Chains A and B, each alone.
Chain A
Amino acid sequence: MKTLYDYYRLFPHTDCGYCGSTSCLTMLRRYCLGKSDLNSCIYFKSGELPSPKISYSPPHLKEPPTEKISYIRPCPSEPTKVTIEVNVLPQTHSPYGYFDMITADSIFDRQIPNLKISPSLGIVRIESEAGDVMVFSEGKVIIRRGADEKRAFWEISRAVRLLWATVNRKIRAESAH
């Protein structure tokens, strides 16, 4: 099985931004989403590097996640705090999962403090006093160092609501067709 990184290795690795993506990996992911063309990369366009033949399906597709609370536990390194993992929704809208981190990147780009988006990995990280949240594009949400259970769930829902914007946008874009 090929991973995204097997294809990534065939990319130029300059992160020059000519293609309009922030990095070669973002470009690759956008390409897999049908959102960009390999020829927008200056290296492939000029023939300096051979255009790779890409057929990639993300690993999580094999087992679509179901909506559930996976666990609620004391934090391994700080037992007075709580760690929770949930899956918010089965992925329905895109082969790349529920949340579209590429759209999220374009909406939130550096506007919210302590929020980091990796469009290339499909992950959002939000740090706060009440806990550190990671959201994965396919709908998995993990909080660590949650102050208590109630606040941890509140932080999870805050992160999910924030990223709902990306889902809404996608649904709107799809229904416009």
Chain B
Amino acid sequence: MMLDINKIREDFTFLRSGRIYLDSTATSLTPEPVLKKVLEYYREYRANVGRGIYNTAQTATSAYENARAEVAKLINAKPEEIIFVRNTTEATNLVANGLKFQEGEKIVTTILEHHSNYIVWLRVKNTKKLELSVVQSDREGHLSPSDFAAHIDRRTKLVAVTHTSNVLGVRPPIKEIVKLAHEQGSLVLVDGAQSVPHTKVDVKELGCDFLAFSGHKMCGPTGVGALYIKEDLQASVEPLCIGGGSIDDVGIDYYRLRGGPNKYEAGTPPIAEAIGMGAAATYLMNIGMDNIEDHERKLTRRMLQGLANIEGISLYGPKDAEKRAGIISFNLKGMNPHDVAVALDTTSGVMVRSGHHCALPLHKHVLNAPNGSVRASVYLYNNYDDVDVFLDTLAEISKTLM
């Protein structure tokens, strides 16, 4: 099925100004139906959740729990397996601090990772005296199962790997990695920040133990994200914070935590934001994740073709649109990536990201681009015109300023 892009674009009021937004990897835009749900909570049934007995408090609690179910459905999990957190970063920190690591155990991660799924492991490595093993990729960012097989062993407690690189758009083979890890008795955390918003993710099919993602990258509000923890693991993962809302019983010298997601959601949660994230999940499911992925692939193909014809471009990652998501990083010869981004914005209102995109190890050690890169990324609301204006302007920058 084709997406009705014009209709979708109407939902995103941000686009009415004519600006061209190619930075959805950093954060996505928010459609009206999501905003409406968020405001509805504030306007019509604002109350704390899981506490009051009065009717409105029950309404708020149901809306909050319904949002959990909507988010669960998006990744084919059970609602009890979804924990609302602030963002992907808080989710990885929760796992890093909540797993009971023993001295000498090993964590395996990769050179592709975002700092949020990298420095957290460096920290626990130091505090808990663990070993951290970093799987290297080739120049294009490809990782094969055999690369992991060499690192995962009986001592490996956790494998933390991205589902989609936020720089190169490549997708490591998660299913195979999970199989290798489980054979050795290790757990797998998948950083889904860039996959859940853009493609169909099914935790049952992937088999992973944890999946972290952010609401703000999937058309939801800022300030909320989700961590999937496989149900039977929840007893062995400690919460990051404890307090009101997360206990069954408290005495003068003891407390007993609740089971289920509430254990991890101490204090008043971001209620409106969670409701918004649920609405965003439903918004995406209504459009269809496969349709979104197809649409992005078409735009990516156009972008890659266009970039191939511009002089002086170093493109990072695979040249083939089938092998990557709609995230494209590059440099123009001799130009600072920030200058390229400012020129695109000032002359054509094209917004792209520049810098190291929170992936310094990748830029330094794989891409050999210590100054970072320019990154253009697409989402369901982008169209061919957006890509063309970006390419035309970039071609002109290359021709006149490089």
Report A41-63 CB contacts with B as 1/0, cut-off 8 Å.
Answer: 00000000000000000011000
**Cβ–Cβ contact A132 & B348, under 8 A:** no
Q: Which of B367-402 contact A (CB under 8 A)?
A: 370-372, 385, 388-389, 392-393, 396-397, 399-402
Contacts A1-B18, A142-B339 given; indicate if A116 touches B389 (C-beta within 8 A).
Answer: no
The distance in angstroms between the C-alpha atoms of A140 and B385, with both chains bound, is 27
**Cβ–Cβ contact B342 & A118, under 8 A:** no
Chain A residues, CB < 8 A from B336: 132, 144-145
**Cβ–Cβ contact A144 & B339, under 8 A:** yes
B interface: dominant SS: helix
Chain B residues, CB < 8 A from A2: 18
B203 shortest CB reach to chain A, Å = 36
B126 within 8 A of A: no
A103 within 8 A of B: no
The distance in angstroms between the C-alpha atoms of A101 and B400, with both chains bound, is 12
B355 within 8 A of A: yes
Q: Which of B99-128 contact A (CB under 8 A)?
A: none
B6 within 8 A of A: no
B389 shortest CB reach to chain A, Å = 5
B17 within 8 A of A: yes
Select which of A4, A116, A142 is within 8 A of B348 by beta carbon: A4
**Cβ–Cβ contact B393 & A5, under 8 A:** yes
Report A85-127 CB contacts with B as 1/0, cut-off 8 Å.
Answer: 0000000000000000000000000000000111111110100
**Cβ–Cβ contact A122 & B401, under 8 A:** no
**Cβ–Cβ contact A144 & B338, under 8 A:** yes
The distance in angstroms between the C-alpha atoms of A122 and B396, with both chains bound, is 11
Residue with the highest number of chain A CB atoms closer than 10 Å, among B18, B392, B396, B400: B400
Contacts A3-B389, A5-B389, A140-B346 given; indicate if A121 touches B17 (C-beta within 8 A).
Answer: no
Q: How many residues of A contact B (CB 8 A)?
A: 33
**Nearest CB to that of A23 among chain B residues?**
B399
A167 within 8 A of B: no
**Cβ–Cβ contact A122 & B339, under 8 A:** no
**Cβ–Cβ contact A116 & B401, under 8 A:** yes
B146 within 8 A of A: no
Chain B residues, CB < 8 A from A25: 396
Report B10-23 CB contacts with A as 1/0, cut-off 8 Å.
Answer: 00000001100000
Q: How many residues of B contact A (CB 8 A)?
A: 27
Chain A residues, CB < 8 A from B392: 5, 8-9
Report A1-25 CB contacts with B as 1/0, cut-off 8 Å.
Answer: 1111110110000000000000101
A134 within 8 A of B: yes
B349 within 8 A of A: yes
A64 within 8 A of B: no
B237 within 8 A of A: no
**Cβ–Cβ contact B346 & A60, under 8 A:** yes
**Cβ–Cβ contact A117 & B400, under 8 A:** yes
**Nearest CB to that of B336 among chain A residues?**
A144
B356 within 8 A of A: yes
The distance in angstroms between the C-alpha atoms of A144 and B341, with both chains bound, is 13
Contacts A9-B388, A120-B396 given; indicate if A76 touches B338 (C-beta within 8 A).
Answer: yes
Q: Which 9 A-B pairs have the closest CB atoms?
A: A1-B18, A118-B400, A77-B371, A5-B389, A5-B392, A121-B347, A125-B401, A116-B401, A118-B401
Can you name 18 A-B residue pairings with CB atoms under 8 Å? A1-B18, A3-B348, A5-B389, A9-B388, A60-B346, A76-B356, A77-B355, A77-B371, A77-B372, A78-B371, A116-B402, A118-B400, A121-B343, A123-B401, A134-B342, A136-B346, A142-B342, A144-B338
